[in-house]
């Protein structure tokens, strides 16, 4: 079986509940979006901004942050109302049924993935604001992989214990975008800015919880698909390493220098 045939075989083994949904019915639209994203960030955008002053987007960014807080809070609420007892130390099989609760979860997971596509806007804003120092490998890798993982997640494992990922990640993003919004307001900015390091710590703790959760899913006694788990473990480890390196460089090394 060739590479294309292998891809088609596994990609067609998806959840029939989502096979015709926008951007997850096929991998090609997402691939085109990510290719356009990389082209704009590293080629088209910098050329366009080369002889232009940086844009501000101050009000847009504030509205965007509020939107992210509301959208992520909605997703977290939807998941926790269906899985109120969801914990990292519990194996919950994936529900592929069409019951109201299962469909509600699939939609929440789908919205979470679409939100990751919306997140790509942030890098574009960095380009247009000439904040090139913020376009790090961590930033680009994290945004691309969350979109890809989100699509795979919706197509294959949107239910059961796997929903801890969008639930916990959504909660972390509520905190993160609340911080971004508050740190943009004059008068309280100086009080909020020192909290930035704790936002990074919360993100790292999130990856530790994800890893523990994946190890439980990997147990032979836990009846969930193992291949997505094996794919996610190195991705989670790499994300944690990148965030820790950023934290060490931004806070620990700078503190030593001082």
pLDDT at position 256: 52
Domain ranges in the chain? 27-257
Given the residues 142, 143, 173, 213, select the one marked as catalytic: 142
Kindly report, residue by residue over 16-67, the tens digit of the pLDDT.
899 889 998 877 899 999 999 999 999 999 999 999 999 999 999 999 999 9
pLDDT at position 53: 95
Provide the whole-model pTM: 0.89
Kindly report, residue by residue over 96-145, the tens digit of the pLDDT.
999 999 999 999 999 999 999 999 999 999 999 999 999 999 999 999 99
Exposure string (b/e) for 67-86, b if CB count within 10 Å is 16 or more?
A: ebbebbbbbbebbbebbeeb
Please tell me what DSSP assigns to residue 159: S
Mean pLDDT, rounded, for 206-231 = 92
Give residues with Cβ within 8 angstroms of 173, minimum separation 6.
68, 69, 72
Of 86, 152, 58, 79, nearest in space to 113 by CA? 152
- Is residue 142 annotated as part of the catalytic site, yes or no? yes
For the cut 60, the answer to whether the pLDDT of residue 258 exceeds it is: no
SS (H, E, C) 168-208: HHHHHHHHHHHHHHHCCCCCCHHHHHHHHHHHHHHHHHHHH
């Amino acid at each position: 079986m060739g590479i294309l045939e292998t891809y088609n075989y596994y990609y067609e083994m998806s959840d029939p509940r989502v096979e015709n949904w926008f951007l997850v019915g096929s991998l090609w639209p997402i691939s085109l979006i990510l290719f356009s994203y990389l082209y704009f960030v590293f080629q088209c955008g910098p050329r366009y901004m080369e002889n232009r002053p940086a844009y501000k987007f101050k009000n847009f960014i504030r509205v965007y942050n509020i939107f992210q807080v509301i959208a992520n809070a909605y997703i977290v609420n939807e998941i926790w109302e269906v899985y109120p007892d969801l914990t990292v130390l519990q194996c919950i099989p994936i529900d592929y049924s069409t019951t109201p609760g299962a469909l509600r979860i699939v939609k929440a997971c789908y919205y979470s993935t679409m939100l990751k596509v919306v997140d790509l806007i942030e890098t574009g804003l960095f380009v247009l604001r000439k904040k090139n120092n913020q376009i790090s490998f961590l930033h680009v890798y994290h945004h691309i992989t969350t979109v890809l993982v989100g699509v795979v997640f919706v197509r294959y494992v949107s239910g059961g214990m796997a929903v801890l990922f969008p639930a916990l990640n959504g909660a972390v993003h509520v905190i993160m975008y609340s911080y971004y919004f508050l740190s943009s307001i004059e008068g309280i900015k100086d009080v909020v800015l020192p909290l930035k390091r704790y936002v990074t710590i919360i993100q790292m703790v999130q990856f530790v919880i994800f890893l523990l959760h994946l190890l439980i899913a990997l147990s032979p006694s836990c009846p969930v698909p193992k291949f997505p788990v094996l794919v996610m473990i190195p991705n989670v480890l790499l994300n944690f390493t990148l965030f820790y390196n950023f934290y060490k460089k931004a806070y620990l090394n700078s503190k030593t220098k001082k």
